[in-house]
Structure 1
Amino acid sequence: MRRIVAGVHGVLAGLHVWWATGTTWPAADERSLSMAVLGGQASFAPRVVLPLALLHVLLAVAILTSERWKLSRLVVGVLAAGLAARAAAGLVWITGVGTTPAFYWLNLLVYTPICIALCVADLKMLRVRRLKAALVAGPVAVVTVLALIAYVYQPAERPHPAASVDSRYVDTPLARIHYLQRGTGSPVVLLSPGAAPASAWNAELADLARDHAVYAVDLPGQGETRLHDERFTFDLNGMTTALGQFLDALHLPRVALGGNSWSGGWGLAYAQRHPDRVSKLVLLAPSGLDEPDVWSWEILKQPLVGEALAKLAANRSMVESAVRGLFAHQELVTPQLVDSMWIPGTYRDNVRSMYALERGLDWSVTEKALPSTGQPTLVLWGDRDTVLPVAQAARFGKLLPNATVRVLPDCGHALTVDCADRVTPLLSAYLK
């Protein structure tokens, strides 16, 4: 039995070495491979998979020597606990929650049965009966609690805030879209920053309205917008389609388009797909490069864990902590600002969008299209950005053919509020 189990880990080690060469067999690309193997996104770069290959080799050695060495038996015990946790999660995913079609079938027919078999085999190598029970019961209990939070629990929705005098709604096939409108003149559309409401653009809305008809828009999963279609996919296709429907509903054939963070990436993707409808781009610390996010966002890509964390994060104290991390000027983080972020973050669709967008947004598509993105583009970045590294500003400047890049000293990621006094004049001058 030891040789068989060790052989399985040897095969897995070889497979990880194979992936380290750059091949993504049996999938077409790294993203598809990751979604099929893990059910979420992860890198298969050599720096990631080679250590995993070494780990499988060490596990094989520990299994083969577990009869003689206490340390090896300890390793086998830890491995059995991990396999018990993975098997429990696999049994949850067999119900169909939180999975893609490819991962569902692989989990049902391959991953979960193998994990159960390997866990049983590892337990047989251990001698202490009570230890065996604890190695199974503990991980299974943890996974059960996580599954209940992830797939059953729903945070209580907070009451909607009083509507702004600038608030408007328009119904589209996908959603009842909320937006703020002010001013007359050439149209400027500002997309609410990722996980933030349209009111984050209040300062810019007031300033730009002197020369333009300005619309600050909550796309699906943001602010006060409500989905009509529960099958809506939180990915680039879904977000750009929703934006296109908004522009059509308000009869805006051609606009200047701006966004911050995720919404900068959505605006960029829309401009790449519909260049005739976007005259200029304003991108504030935007997504759009095929780079990993900070760990606190990357972890949302993993099934079960992402759902649970997104729901637990719909908590005012956690929201306040996260918001403070976006600001260089902490005095601007007022209770009113925190509430404006927290309250919409408790809505069911908005909670779902947190992990669904993190998994669904494929920024390799936008990065590949950057050299052919012809619109004049203003790129602004804060030098104290803790979410997207300021070094990415230079990459946008290099890849976009018509970009003007400005790095703002002593500014964080939430540029529309944290440094509104410097952002608004730059936008006003650029859009005139």
Structure 2
Amino acid sequence: MQGNDFARTVNVNGAHVYYEYHKHPSASETFVLLHGFLSSSFSFRRLTPLLKEQYNVISIDLPPFGSSGKSNRFIYSYENLANTVISLLDHLNVKNIHLTGHSMGGQIALNVMKKEPSLVDKGVLLCSSGYLKKMNWPVLMASRIPFFHLYVKLWLTRSGIRKNLENVVHNRELIDDEMMFGYLKPFLEDDIFKALTRMIRDREGDLSIAELKKIETPCLLVWGEHDRVVPLTTGERLTKDLPQSRLVVLKETGHLVPEEKPDEVLQHIQQFVNSEAGEYVKNEQHHYKKGLSQTLLTET
């Protein structure tokens, strides 16, 4: 952390929430970054330095991930996580944000847009999760077995950090020791697995089509063409169901777009936030060509 940058943990909405705040000396726009499942602010480590050159940036560790609290009493529903984000931004007196969510963070961002539409000027959804149902009842019942958190830990240990990273990036040459340790570090203590067990029970299904259609916030959707975690078809569906949205597909890219293509992501974000809503985002007139890392801005 340098200059106007700082990191803190505050208690909001019944949770200890860690965040990193990069204050630009003259910027009026603020990006709020929400990471994905089993991740943390670390996943934006290559995008944040680019954004903070021109904007204020707040990166949040969503409970129970990263350096945030891992209580097994907190309600880890997406609605309550959205409430936690809203409470933190109210605590910081931050308004009119560009809310950016990756994977699970995209679904929480959509919940924020639904609950507090006036808070968000524009949304950026990076390979956002969507259309997932609540966990099936056998898993929910199993999660109540004593020491179930040890099964969760065993499952993650067996899959291995390298294997998990190989599943989320297209270019496996990006995986190095720094990257592996950064994603592994939050899972070195058992408390996270107890909290994840609670999250299995608390997580409701993703927003319905009817709910998505009511979100009027202009949204940019950025997808990797080789996303094996949240396939491109999900991005296509979201673009149809979100009234003001446009989809960009990045060539030779997997699920972890902030790590793999931060410069291209920044380029599209800048075009998006610097344009008028009706100029860049056209209702029911989104255009993209799979395999090209570009958006066709002309209308047919």
Question: Considering the TM-score relative to the shorter chain, is it more than 0.5?
Answer: yes
Greater alpha carbon shift after TM alignment, 323-332 vs 230-239: 230-239
Which amino acid is 1:170 matched to?
T
The match for 1:220 is: 63
Q: Distance in 2 between matches of 1:167 and 1:291?
A: 37
2:203 matched residue in structure 1: 361
The Cα of 1:240 is off from its aligned counterpart by 1.1
CA shift for structure 1 position 307: 3.4
2:8 to 153, 165, 169: 169
- In the alignment, structure 1 residue 256 sits paired with structure 2 residue 115: no
* Contact 1:167 1:178 survives alignment (8 Å): no
Matched, 1:338 2:165: no
Relative distance call for 1:248 and 1:379 in structure 2 (3 A) is same
1:382-421 matches, cutoff 5 A: 382-421=224-263
Distance 1:369 1:217, change over 3 A: same
State percent identity of aligned pairs: 22
Structure with higher strand content? 2
Task: Give matches, 1:298-377, under 5 Å.
Answer: 303-304=142-143, 307-315=149-157, 318-377=160-219
Rate the CA distance shift 1:424–1:349 in 2: closer, same or farther, 3 A: farther
Contact kept in structure 1, 2:134 and 2:203, CA below 8 Å: no
TM-score normalised by L of structure 1? 0.56
Larger RCO, structure (CA 8 Å, separation 6 or more): 2
With over 3 angstroms needed to count, the CA separation of the structure-2 counterparts of 1:414 and 1:192, relative to structure 1, is same
Contact 2:79/2:108 (CA < 8 Å) preserved in 1?
no
- The answer to whether the 8 A contact 1:271-1:278 is kept is yes
User: Which stretch has the larger CA shift, 340-349 or 409-418?
Assistant: 340-349
Query: What are the within-5 Å matches in structure 2 for residues 46-57 of structure 1?
Result: none
Q: Classify 1:426/1:356 alpha carbon distance in 2 versus 1 (closer, same or farther; 3 Å).
A: farther
Partner Cα distance (1:411, 1:301) in 2: 34
Distance in 2 (alpha carbons) for counterparts of 1:264 and 1:349: 25
- Asked if structure 2 preserves the Cα contact closer than 8 Å seen for 1:183 and 1:211, the reply is no
Query: Are the aligned partners of 1:183 and 1:214 in contact in 2 as well (CA < 8 Å)?
Result: yes
Report which of the two structures shows the higher radius of gyration computed on alpha carbons: 1
Structure 1 residue aligned with 2:52, among 209, 213, 216? 209
Counterparts of 1:423 and 1:389 in 2: how far apart (Å)?
18
Q: Which runs of no fewer than 5 residues in structure 1 stay unpaired?
A: 1-163
Give the root-mean-square deviation of aligned CA atoms.
2.6
Contact 1:189/1:255 (8 A) holds in 2:
yes
Superposed displacement of residue 358, structure 1: 4.1
Structure-2 separation of matches of 1:344 and 1:208: 25
* 1:247 counterpart letter in structure 2: L
Whether the 8 Å CA contact 1:203–1:420 is kept in 2: the answer is yes
CA drift at 1:170: 3.5
Q: Tell me how far apart the structure 2 counterparts of residues 346 and 269 of structure 1 sit (CA, whole Å).
A: 30
Equivalent residue letter for 1:424: L
SS in 1 for 2:75: coil
**How far apart, CA to CA, are the structure 1 residues paired with 2:36 and 2:50?**
18
Answer whether contact 1:257 1:282 (CA < 8 A) is retained: yes
Report the count of equivalent residues. 265
Residues 1:192 and 2:32 aligned together: no
Partner of 2:277: none
Is contact 2:150-2:193 (8 Å) kept?
no
TM-score by length of 2: 0.79
**1:289 pairs with 2:131:** yes
Contact 1:262 1:287 in 2 (8 A): yes
Query: SS in structure 1 opposite 2:8?
Result: strand
Paired residues of 1:268 and 1:366 also in contact (CA < 8 A):
no
- Write out per-residue CA displacement over residues 234-257 of structure 1, whole angstroms, 9 at most, x where no aligned residue: 112321121112111211133110
Q: Deviations over 1:79-136 (max 9, x none)?
A: xxxxxxxxxxxxxxxxxxxxxxxxxxxxxxxxxxxxxxxxxxxxxxxxxxxxxxxxxx
- Tell me if the contact between 1:236 and 1:266 (Cα under 8 Å) persists in the aligned partners: yes
Paired with 1:364 and 1:341, the residues of 2 have a C-alpha distance of 25
CA–CA distance in 2 between the matches of 1:231 and 1:237? 16
